[in-house]
Structure 1
């Protein structure tokens, strides 16, 4: 039986754009694929059967450490706002799973408390979510 990998990180989160992509890994203090489940009230038919619609939508959520340089993530997210781009999320590089799909990039907040290392949360809608085997690596 394979050993369990319970710690988030070290891992990676990358979004690919037309140039090459953006590695968010060194700027994230939190990373999470988050499902939102919803169900309609069931419809009852004359024969007594019932039918209900259940759906799940996903978001990639996290917390970014502010970087006020010209190539910081807040600038990249602003420049790519509303673009749907492929991503890969590896929760732990020694694990055996990766998640892929498409995210719709949205702008993230900039700034916060003065004389502080601020963080800001993001939430990108996800489509085409899949998981696959990830070849475990050691080190980084």
Structure 2
């Protein structure tokens, strides 16, 4: 496996991120066209229910991804808080956002403390934090 860095650390599940989103979008568009065509007929209710199912599908698609990510964010916050405490004997500053903490997880132990201090001083974004890391600490468990 090649080393992880800023340019290749993002992971996508092709079937989910690309195929399913494309299929939902195509079905949603087709169901809107169907509702418009069936507007004045007796079949309007069936067309409307199909549209409603695609709207529900989009909701499921969104929340199926966001709920596990929130759980992963909580785990990362706890793990990085513990790692920072072990290194400094101080808790991680509560001013750090979850996006900053998830970016800091890629920093090795010797870069974590100075990068955390810099992040707090300059309010670095997650991309700025990741770009500032010299020796990337890979995380292959998050999709």
TM-score, structure 2 as length reference: 0.25
Structure ranking higher in strand proportion: 1
Structure (1/2) with the larger helix percentage: 2
> Greater Rg, structure 1 or structure 2?
2
